[in-house]
Amino acid sequence: MLPAFNFSLVLRRAWIPSVRHFSRSCEVYQDYFNDVFVNNTLKHAKSLPDNEYVRCTVYDKNGDMVVHGKNIRKLEFMKTYDLAPRDLRKMVRSHISTGTPSGVFVEFVPLLATRKNSILLNLLNIRAIIKCDSLVVFDNYSSLGLGSRFNESHSHGVFLKEMSTRLKASHPEANTLPYEFRALEGILVDVTTNLNTEMSVHKKVLSNILSSLDDSIERTKLRYLLIQSKKLGQFRQKAQLIKDLLDYLLNEDDELNAMYLTEILQGQQRHSFNHQEVELLLESYYATIDEIIQTVDNLISQIKTSEEIIRFVLDSNRNDLMLLGLRFSIGLLSMGLTMYIAALYGMNLENFIEEKDGGLELIVGVASVSMMILFIYCTRQIKSLQRFTLSSASKEKAMAARTRNIV
């Protein structure tokens, strides 16, 4: 007797190599895709405009703008200002973006650190290197068209002019504050001004949205409210990061003492807690940013309160629609009872009612009375459900607790 031929075993053996070949080919394609992706990313990074240059504006010790929007090679820049490559990468990294119309990318994480005879600063859209006798402000690029072109906004131009005025020897604070503190204060003034301006815009937009929601609740207005809530959250996080940075500096005595660049150059190194000038300077702007954050928190609480009120209004409207549907259902149920009685009366059966006078009137009266009784009963049941308040709910909970205690 011949053995049974196992077709399933043959198919399984024939299928295993194909599966292995398919999985091996998928792995090959995935590796190829990863290689292509990495190569394209590297090519894009290398093709960025002016990748080997740094564009900056330089002020001398007299506050004069000696260099404006000049391209300097990175190696030469690091030698001139005694800067480490990692610090330069931190200052100029990811500030060219093709995804935005202006081509300007703002570093989200702030930086204020001391290095050898310099202060590195990166706050909002301002990136600068402060020294005891010079100030370097990095400019922003715009990747419009084929070449790279400097895009100087009005606010940036105003900031450069104000810095030139503040750094001059004729400034009222020139006798009380050294060069590096005047530069630091000018940057902090511009940062707080930008934060206040942006907060005012958010506040105005939010007030307009909330006032329009008082008139009518529409889907478009709710969408605008959601977008504004996200923008406020991002703005608060940005201000909170700057506040945390200032708070960290106020708690670090070594960092505060290292900011006295002029005295360090003269050989007068400060120690311990002898840093009242820079501490008062940072505390002033720390308090200003803290007020901005509190105002933003109030705006966010207004949004949350408005969302809760809108939710209550929508729930009330939904309940009204449900009650309206129940009333229509009760009316249809009552009419169904009347139609049932009329159908029984209209059947071709002997019921001895049509032979007597007043049979039609009797049927109509019974159907109408039955319909009214059923409608009134169902309406009272709905009203009893509507009277279910917090007090009645608490009473029911107390009765349930008493029964549990008795049991």
Q: In this structure, are 254 and 239 located in the same domain?
A: yes
Residue 19 lies in a domain: no
Considering the domain architecture, whether residues 264 and 352 belong to the same structural domain is answered as: no
Q: Which residues pair with 54 in a beta bridge?
A: 72
Distance in angstroms between the alpha carbons of the first and the last residue of the chain: 78
β-pairing verdict for 141-142 and 65-73: unpaired
Q: Give the strand order in the sheet containing 111-115.
A: 65-73, 53-59, 135-138, 126-130, 118-123, 111-115
Side-chain-side CA neighbours of residue 312 (13 Å) = 5
239 domain-assigned: yes
The answer to whether 148 and 104 are in contact (CB under 8 A) is no
From the number of C-beta atoms within 10 Å of its C-beta (0-12, 13-18, 19+), residue 169 rates as exposed
272 and 202 within one domain: yes
* 328 and 274 in a common domain: no
Do 307 and 374 sit in the same domain of this protein? no
Is 342 part of any domain?
yes
Query: Of 315, 347, 370, at which residue does a domain stop?
Result: 315
Give the pLDDT confidence score for residue 288 in this predicted structure: 94
- The whole-angstrom separation of Cα 301 and Cα 139 is 37
H-only helix segments in 216-275: 219-250, 253-258, 261-265
Per-residue pLDDT, 290: 95
Distance CA 110, CA 279 (A): 19
Residues 6 or more apart in contact with residue 198 via CB below 8 angstroms: 235
Domain tally, the chain: 2
pLDDT for 44 = 53
111-115 and 118-123 strand pairing? antiparallel
**260 plus 362 within the same structural domain:** no
Is residue 22 a part of any domain in this protein? no
Q: How many CB atoms lie within 10 A of CB 96?
A: 18
For 45, 116, 143, 344, the CA distances from 96, given in Å and listed in that order, are 10, 28, 7, 85
In a domain, 69, yes or no: yes
pLDDT by position in tens, the chain (length 407): 444 444 444 444 444 444 444 445 555 556 666 666 666 655 555 544 446 788 889 998 888 888 888 888 888 888 888 888 888 888 776 444 444 444 444 456 888 989 888 999 998 888 999 998 899 998 865 433 333 344 446 778 888 888 888 888 777 776 778 889 999 999 999 999 999 999 999 999 999 998 988 888 888 888 999 999 999 999 999 999 999 999 999 998 888 888 988 888 888 877 777 788 889 999 999 999 999 999 999 999 999 998 888 888 888 888 888 888 888 888 888 888 778 777 776 776 666 666 667 767 777 787 888 888 888 888 887 777 666 554 555 555 555 655 555 55
Instruction: Tell me the C-alpha distance between 57 and 66, whole Å.
Output: 8
Cα distances (Å, whole numbers) of residue 323 to 69, 268, 377, 380, 386: 70, 82, 15, 13, 10
Do 153 and 47 form a contact (C-beta atoms < 8 A)?
no
Q: Degrees (nearest 5) of the Cα angle 231, 154, 137?
A: 90
Q: Which domain holds residue 205?
A: 53-94+106-143+155-315
Helix-then-strand count for the chain, H and E: 11, 8
Q: How far is CA 205 from CA 209, 211, 302, in A?
A: 6, 10, 13
User: What pTM was computed for the model?
Assistant: 0.68
**Residue 295 sits in the same domain as residue 337:** no
Q: What is the length of the chain?
A: 407
Q: Identify whether residues 126 and 194 lie together within a single domain.
A: yes
Q: What residues contact 249, with CB distance under 8 A and at least 6 apart?
A: 112, 255, 256, 282
Q: For residue 130, what pLDDT is reported?
A: 92
Report if residue 352 sits inside a domain: yes
d(CA 103, CA 147): 12
Do 166 and 235 lie in a common domain?
yes
